[in-house]
Structure formats: C-alpha cells, structure tokens
Chain A
Amino acid sequence: MLLFFLSSGLFLGWSLGANDAANVFGTAVGSKMVRFKTAAIIASIFVISGAVISGAGASHTLGKLGAVNALGGSFMTALAAGYSVYLMTKYELPVSTSQAIVGAIVGWNFFSGFVTDYKILSKIISTWVICPILSAIFAAVLYLVMRSIFNNVKIHLLMIDSLTRIGLILVGAFGAYSLGANNIANVMGVFVPSVPFREINLGFFTLSGPQQLFLIGGIAISVGIFTYSYKVMKTVGGELLKLSPQAALVVVLAESMVLFVFASQSLSDFVKSLGLPPIPLVPVSSSQAVVGAIIGIGIVRGWRNIRFQVMGKIALGWVATPIAAGVISFVGLFILQNVFGIVVAKKSVYKVEQEFVQFVSDVEIKGDFSKIEGKEFGSYKKLYNQIFPIVGEKDIAALLTSLCEEIDLELNLGKVKKLYSKGLLTREERDLFLKFKTKKFEYKYQFLMEFCRVQGCKLRNYKELREIYKKVEVYLKLLG
C-alpha cells in the first residue's frame, strides 16, 4: 500500500530525471564531448548523494508551507504536480516541478483547511523570480572571466578541448549534486511528514527517515536519467549548442551554483553568520536557471541571441503552473476522499493541558505557561506563535508545540502484533509496547511520558527530550 502511495512521487522523480538531467549534462552529451553512459552514471551517483546529504533544507521549507500529514494527501499532491507538469509540457510551456509541487501543496492546504503561511509562500515565489536573475548574473561574470582567460592565455586548442571536457564532467557532477539537493524536495518533500520510516544505522552513518525517502526518490530520478534523458539531452544539447562548449560550461556552472545556493544549509548559515539575512532554502527550477544563464551570456555578448519571448513564457509558467497544479490537487483530493474514502488530511488540534505544563517544568524548560494553559488551538502555527515568546527558542518551541498535538491513539494488542509480524517492530519493541499501562493517548506527550516510564528513563533537559521524541515520532507514525 505504501508503495502504491509512493508511486506518484516516484513518477515525479522519474520525470525529473528524464527532463532535468539534460540541463546538467545536455551539452556535454549533445556535443559528444562526454559519452551518455558516463554522464548518466555520474549524474545518478551525484543526484542521489545530493538528495540524501543535502536534501533536507529545501524539503523543510516545503514542509513549512504545508505539512501534508496523510499518505493519501501526499499521493494526490505529488500526482497533481506530476500531471500538471505533463500538461504544461504538452502545451510547450517551460515548466518546473518546483512550481507545480508548491501549487499542489497550497491546493492541499485549501482542501484540508490548513492555513497557508503566506510569508513562506511569498518567500518561495520571490525565490523563483530571483533564480533566473541570479543565474544570469553568475553566468555573465563567469563568462567574462572565462573569455579573458581563453583569449589571453596561450592554450592549445586541443588542451582547451580536454580542459572543457574535464570541466563539463566536474561541473556536471556538481550540477547533479545540486539538482538532487535542491529538487528532491519536489519529489519526496510531501511524503516526509506522512511516511513512517525508521532510522537505519549503517555503522559509519545513520540514515534518517526522510533520508531514506530521499534515497528512494534519488533512485527514481536516476532511473529517469537512464531510461529517458538521452532523448532530452540531445534536443537540449542541440539548442544550447548554438553556444560554444565553453559557454555551455558556463551555463551549467551558473545553473548549478544557483541550485546549490538555494539548497545548502551550511552556506545559508554562513551568510547568516555574516549578519546578512539567511538564504531561503527553496526548490527552484533548473530549466529556468539555464535560461537565465543563457540570457546572462547574451547580455555580455551585446544582447545577442536573446529571445524575449522565452522570458515571457517563463513568467507565464510562474503563474500558470502553480495554479493548474493547485486546482488539479484540490479536485483530486476531493475525489480521493469522497469517492474512494481515503484519508487525505489529518486535522490536528493542539491543547496545552496542566499535566503538560508540569511535564515541561520537569524537563527544566523554563517559562510561564499559565496564559495558555487549558486553551485549545486550531493549528500548529497558532500554538507555536504562543509558545515561542514564552520559551524564546525556535527549536524548543517547535518541539513543545508538536508534543501538544492531539492524537487519537489506541494501543491495542492486535496492532502491535501485526506490526511485529510484518517486521516493522523488533521483539524488544513489541515487548516494550505490551508493557504499556495506559492504552489510550489523547496527546503526543502522553505517549512519550508512558514510553519513558516503561523504559525507565528520566528526562533531565531539552536535549534528552529531543532524542526521545525522535524515536517516539516514528512509533507514532507506525501505530497511527
């Protein structure tokens, strides 16, 4: 069942691999500078590593826009995005998976009554506009540097050729990494809140739940690269080839840098440490970055080769894609819920009970919760906005808010045994759950407290609480 729901995301991943890998290796392959097989292998390896290692940032932003919390909903949003990408491609509009998925998520928000965070939405939209512009600036600067090097330093034509080849491979690898890091959020982001994957310890490093999702998504992308991207690479390569291979190298490098900028957590942190506003980590469109870069080079070469129609088409895509995806998503969710009876959204209520306030003070988190004690909140955001000023730290406030979420969980024997027989629980874990005294849980923190009691652990500070919560969250998804 899980695989069925994931299928829409995998399809999205496949189409991303088929289409966007061409933005990274299209020229190299189209111009016969690099063999397709080499390009496909390198692209696959780096897309997957980018997705697993740095995919979290952009996916986190999408999560903030709308945490699609039921598998059915995730399925439909990804499907809506995939379908609108297909539709837009059919009408030959430059389409971006990033824009489609954002529209689909907003569609889900509308359908399920969740409040769309317009601050985040406007941040995402402004990034789309900045993306091609930034790409144009990067490309223009890189092109000027490259031109002055190649025209002034005496390098043999054949050496330039070798260097360009090596450059295309290196930049392609970097581009694939950035593509994976930035765009995996489009493919798998909507599944992160709803899929119950457990952390896997591989000895030298651990794969968190989302990372496993990203790995699967990355593999879907690489399947797309191997099965279909050759065709696209030849067309894209042919079109870009009106530029010299050196200029094409600049285009790919500029595009990769833009994708990297909007995906790298460490870069964003670094910018923040300089006292500048942090870079928003948002999935952006690689195709639009490419067009931006080509325009950048065109400007440097004296406004040659610039097709203004293309710019108009991109702007149209900005508007049309998310709207189409949003509408499709809304209608699809309606059908899925009302015709097939599949849960597409879990409505959450948050409440701060007295018991919780006591629990918080035991963990030595200071703050006066009396104002909100006993009150009910309709959404995560509303409670978070109350808790944040009390505790003063983002992470703590986010964790406490999640703990207050109302759940309707009944721990029955049959369910535990079934999960055990499926291999989703270990024998120790099964025994652990069988020891639970309380069987019904109204709030997440109650489950967590019972979990701690049975395990005999005493939480002393926020750090310990966070560690336990990570485990509990997985169990909650499994049992829920």
Chain B
Amino acid sequence: MKTLFNSKKLENQIDQFLDAVSQGLIVFLNGVKSYFGEDKEDFAHYLTEISKLESEADKLRRQVENDLYTFSLIPENRGDVLALLEHLDNVIDTAKETLHQFDVEVPDIPLEFADKFIKLAETSCNAGEEIVLAARAFFKDIKSVRDHVHKVYFYEKEADRLSNHLKKDIFRTDMKLSRKIHLRDFTTHVEKISDDAEDVADRLSIYTIKRMI
C-alpha cells in the first residue's frame, strides 16, 4: 500500500516536471517574439517566468530522484528514468540560458532576420514539445513513444537546416565581423534546444526497446 501511495505521488511530480519543461518552451518562444517586437515589459515578464519554471523543474527533478532511491522504486528502470529527467532538464536549461543571453548581450539583430530567427525558435521548440510528449508516453503508453520520437528527429533536422541558412545570410551581409559572429552565436543557441531534444530522443528510443517485455 505504501508503495502504491508513493508511486501516485511520484507520478504527479513527474507530470509536473514535464509540464514545467513544456511551459518553459512556450515562454521561451514568446520571449523571443517579444524581443523582436521590442516590447520590453513583456520580455522582462517572460524572463522571470522562465527562470521560475526552470528552478521549479530542477526542484521537482531532485525530489523525484530522491524519492526513487528512498523508496527504492523501479530498481530496474531507475537509472534510465533519472538519465531521462536529467537530459530533459537540459532542454529547459538551454531555453532559459538563451533567453537570458538576449537580456544580457542585447544582440543587435537586423529586422530582415527577425522572421527567420522566430521560425528557427519555433522549430526548435517544436522538437522540445515533441520530446516532452514522447517522455510522457514512455511512462504511460509505451507503444506511442515512436510516434513522437520520429517528429523530434524531423524538427531537429529542420532546425539545423534553418540555422544554416540563417548563418549563411548573416555572413553575406556587410556587417562588421564581430556582429556577424555575435549573431551566429545566437543562432546556435536557439538551435541548441532541438539538439538537446534529439539527445533525449536517442536515449528514449533505447529505453523503450528495453521496456517492451
């Protein structure tokens, strides 16, 4: 009975963690959009919001780790679950980090690139969203993990392509080299969310095979 109670509590915590990651991605996208919209108030709001979500995700992840070991739950899958949560945490960490860099470094992005930047951020976030869905499926509906994982791979490739285009465009302008490099770095940062998602997807594919009895 005790294990049943503990596992119910833990189920909720894992769900909340996934909610935080997913919300973090939405907030990130909105933050990027408000940066280009030059709405400083909105941008500041999203910045505090994503920090809150990120620290909440951290807290939840530690709690889950702690409980899994304290109540020695799922000894067979424990390592996999922990690794999964830690790598999912990287996704929201990157999102937060990137948004903060916008705040700190205030990159001077020419308006002509705004759409492309936003498109890249959207695609990157899509990959993140799909990996959250895949992780949920891993816990509750193992058979549909594949349905989401393949989309993660698709969006990651798409983000890769978009960022390459963007970088090419940036370096074909007559801006100063320092500015070009600055913009290139931001392109890489935004794209990194999808790379993190891909990393989780790789692991998840293996865990899923392991779990299909």
B4 within 8 A of A: yes
Collect the chain A residues with CB atoms within 8 Å of residue B141's CB: 154
- B1-19, CB under 8 A of A: which get 1 and which 0? 0011001101100100000
Q: Smallest Cβ distance from A244 to chain B, in angstroms? A: 5
Contact between A156 and B140, CB atoms less than 8 A apart: yes
Residue of B nearest to A35 (CB): B72
Q: Smallest Cβ distance from A35 to chain B, in angstroms? A: 9
The answer to whether A162 and B142 touch (CB under 8 A), given A33-B75, A147-B213, A246-B213, is no
B48 within 8 A of A: no
Among B3, B139, B142, B143, point to the contact of A165 (Cβ < 8 A): B3
Q: Smallest Cβ distance from A393 to chain B, in angstroms? A: 52
- A154-184, CB under 8 A of B: which get 1 and which 0? 1111110110011000000000000000000
Number of B positions contacting A (CB below 8 A): 23
Q: How far is the CA of A166 from the CA of B3 in the complex (A)?
A: 9
B101 within 8 A of A: no
Q: Which of A220-256 contact B (CB under 8 A)?
A: 244-247
Contact between A157 and B139, CB atoms less than 8 A apart: yes
Q: Which of A387-443 contact B (CB under 8 A)?
A: none
Residue of A nearest to B74 (CB): A161
Among A32, A150, A151, A162, point to the contact of B7 (Cβ < 8 A): A162
Among B76, B138, B212, point to the contact of A31 (Cβ < 8 A): B76
Q: Smallest Cβ distance from A36 to chain B, in angstroms? A: 13
Number of A-B contacts (CB under 8 A): 54
Q: How far is the CA of A154 from the CA of B136 in the complex (A)?
A: 11
Residue of A nearest to B143 (CB): A151
Collect the chain A residues with CB atoms within 8 Å of residue B10's CB: 158
B73 within 8 A of A: yes
Q: How far is the CA of A187 from the CA of B113 in the complex (A)?
A: 85
Collect the chain B residues with CB atoms within 8 Å of residue A158's CB: 7-8, 10-11, 14, 73-74, 139
Residue of A nearest to B72 (CB): A32
Collect the chain A residues with CB atoms within 8 Å of residue B76's CB: 31, 244-245
Residue of A nearest to B10 (CB): A158
Q: How far is the CA of A31 from the CA of B77 in the complex (A)?
A: 11
Collect the chain A residues with CB atoms within 8 Å of residue B143's CB: 151-152
The answer to whether A156 and B11 touch (CB under 8 A), given A150-B213, A162-B4, A247-B213, is yes
Contact between A155 and B140, CB atoms less than 8 A apart: yes
Interface of B, helix, strand, loop or mixed by DSSP: helix
Q: Smallest Cβ distance from A464 to chain B, in angstroms? A: 52
Q: Which of B167-213 contact A (CB under 8 A)?
A: 211-213
Collect the chain A residues with CB atoms within 8 Å of residue B25's CB: none
Collect the chain A residues with CB atoms within 8 Å of residue B73's CB: 158, 161
Residue of B nearest to A247 (CB): B213
Collect the chain B residues with CB atoms within 8 Å of residue A331's CB: none
Q: Smallest Cβ distance from B201 to chain A, in angstroms? A: 18
Q: Which of B1-56 contact A (CB under 8 A)?
A: 3-4, 7-8, 10-11, 14
Residue of B nearest to A165 (CB): B3
Collect the chain A residues with CB atoms within 8 Å of residue B125's CB: none
B81 within 8 A of A: yes
Collect the chain A residues with CB atoms within 8 Å of residue B77's CB: 157, 161
Contact between B81 and A157, CB atoms less than 8 A apart: yes
Collect the chain B residues with CB atoms within 8 Å of residue A31's CB: 75-76
- A263-284, CB under 8 A of B: which get 1 and which 0? 0000000000000000000000
Contact between A151 and B3, CB atoms less than 8 A apart: no
A125 within 8 A of B: no
Residue of B nearest to A160 (CB): B74
Q: How far is the CA of A33 from the CA of B73 in the complex (A)?
A: 8
Among A150, A155, A162, A246, point to the contact of B3 (Cβ < 8 A): A162
Q: How far is the CA of A166 from the CA of B10 in the complex (A)?
A: 18
Residue of B nearest to A297 (CB): B213
Q: Smallest Cβ distance from B94 to chain A, in angstroms? A: 26
Residues of chain B at the chain A interface (Cβ within 8 Å): 3-4, 7-8, 10-11, 14, 72-77, 81, 138-143, 211-213
Residues of chain A at the chain B interface (Cβ within 8 Å): 31-33, 146-147, 150-152, 154-159, 161-162, 165-166, 244-247
- A158-B7, A159-B7, A166-B4 known, 18 other contacts, Cβ within 8 Å: A31-B75, A31-B76, A32-B75, A151-B143, A151-B212, A151-B213, A152-B143, A157-B77, A157-B81, A157-B139, A157-B211, A161-B3, A161-B77, A165-B3, A244-B76, A244-B211, A244-B213, A247-B213
6 pairs of A and B residues whose beta carbons are closest in the complex = A158-B7, A161-B74, A154-B141, A32-B75, A162-B3, A162-B7
- A/B interface sample: 17 pairs, CB < 8 A: A146-B213, A151-B142, A152-B143, A156-B7, A156-B11, A156-B139, A156-B140, A157-B74, A157-B140, A158-B10, A158-B74, A159-B7, A159-B11, A162-B3, A244-B76, A244-B211, A245-B76
